[in-house]
Structure 1
Amino acid sequence: MLFGDDERAAPEMGRRGFLSFAAAALSAATVPTLITATVAPVVLGSSPVEAAPLAGSVRRLALHNVNTGESFDGVYWADGNYKPDALKRLDVLLRDHRAKQVCHYDPRLFDLLARVHASLDSDAPFEVICGYRSRKTNAMARRRSRGVAKESYHTRGMAIDIRLPDASLRGVSEFAKSIQAGGVGYYPRSGFVHLDTGPVRTW
């Protein structure tokens, strides 16, 4: 199983930054664990330029999990609602296959992925390096690498490590940063970009 490095190079923050981070993290922790079809459409970003929702009546995603060989290619949002069956399939695809545990993912992450994919005009599916990590798997990853965060957003179903075969890692990273919808980590040596729906920060 491949492990993402998570927040290894996350920048230091002062007292004010810590308080802002803590408030945002507390808010993120209240995300419901059960995703239903009545979840409201998500608006990404806070700036006037980036605040517009994804266009169109449907939202699609194409993902390939490099650890299991499994894929998803389909519509996960249509007619103003998330599709429960598609969300369940995505949860299974992004499961911790080592621990055989499935987590209900924050659907805002799927919106972020769809936005990034559309912006890069890519024909390839995202390659998933790491999705959900159980606490046990995360602890194992921490023993292997000092860069894995103890309270990783991977353990909350709010993070993913990905790459696009037909797009540059820097391009993926830079566009994701411009949206300001969460955390973005750029790992050119490891060959992936970390995305999460936690507080806005980059490293």
Structure 2
Amino acid sequence: MLFGDDERAAPVMGRRGFLGFAAAALSVATVPVMTSVATVAPVLLGSSPVEAAPLAGGVRRLALHNINTNERFDGVYWADGNYKPDALKKLDVLLRDHRAKQVCRYDPRLFDLLARVHQTLDSEDPFEVICGFRSRRTNAMARRRSRGVAKESYHTRGMAIDIRLPDTQLRAISETAKGMHGGGVGFYPRSGFVHLDVGPVRSW
């Protein structure tokens, strides 16, 4: 697993456990059965330009490929004016910390940001997920490896993801995301990914 630099003042807030996400693992393609899965809640920081600018069409869909677990999601996560709970659970499981076997309830604004970026770039490939949720323990391990990893990383809040698109240059992804003013955008050409989060608008 690669770890990006999102040292950009993530707020310190408490976490609360949520039950019932382990069952969603059975619904995601090639997801192994997990016998012990902890869950944490997202930290919602209010509205953002991402949700203020609706996506084209009556549905919103995502295609993700987690390269760490080889799991995939390709489907509609929003329709008829509402997020689809089953789809959100599948996305949460796909983006889990597979090292710590913990699932986080993701902030759905991140999915909207991803969908808008994908739609704008007109890519035909799924996003390859380098890193999704990181537990506190995994984040601490990442901090020992790199000084650039924030103690209060948005990855630990269910608000960040590190991605790439096989058919699109990283800089194009970064510039497109920055133009949406939906949160943080980090460009890592050496590591081969772009960091996106729905925290305050900033870039590096």
Q: The TM-score by the shorter chain falls in which range? A: 0.7 to 0.9
Per the TM alignment, residue 6 of structure 1 is displaced from its structure 2 partner at its CA by: 2.5
**Residue aligning to 1:181:** 182
- Distance (whole Å) between structure 1 residues aligned to residue 52 and residue 199 of structure 2: 17
What percentage of residue pairs aligned between the two structures are identical?
75
Matched-pair contact (CA < 8 Å) for 1:94–1:131: yes
Counterpart check, 1:193 vs 2:197? no
TM-superposed CA distance for 1:70, in Å, is 0.3
Comparing 50-59 and 100-109, the one that deviates more: 50-59
Change (3 A) 1:106 1:51: closer
State the alpha-carbon separation in 1 of the partners of residues 146 and 100 from structure 2.
Answer: 19
Partner of 1:4: 3
Q: How do residues 5-154 of structure 1 correspond to structure 2 at under 5 angstroms?
A: 5-7=4-6, 25=11, 45=49, 51-154=52-155
SS in 2 for 1:189: coil
Gap runs ≥5 in structure 2? 19-45
**8 Å contact kept, 1:59–1:75:** yes
Q: Is the 8 A contact 1:60 1:77 kept in 2?
A: yes
- Give the SS at the match of 2:138: helix
Are the counterparts in 2 of residues 62 and 126 from structure 1 also a CA contact under 8 Å?
yes
TM-score of the aligned structures, taking structure 1 as reference length: 0.81
Question: What SS does the aligned partner of 2:49 have?
Answer: coil
Could you say if the C-alpha distance between residues 53 and 145 of structure 1 is closer, same or farther in structure 2, counting changes exceeding 3 Å?
same
Query: What letter is aligned with 2:185?
Result: V
CA contact (8 A) 2:170 2:187 kept: yes
Pairs aligned (count): 177
Query: CA distance change for structure 1 residues 51 and 106 in 2, over 3 Å: closer, same or farther?
Result: closer
Structure 1 residue aligned with 2:31: none
Classify 1:30/1:139 alpha carbon distance in 2 versus 1 (closer, same or farther; 3 Å): closer
Is the CA contact (8 Å cut-off) linking 2:66 and 2:72 kept in structure 1?
yes
TM-superposed deviation, 1:198: 0.4
Q: Which amino acid counterpart does residue 7 of structure 1 have in structure 2?
A: D
Shift of 1:7: 2.1
2:40 maps to which residue? none
Give 1:3 shift. Answer: 2.4
How far the C-alpha of 1:51 sits from its partner, in A, is: 4.7
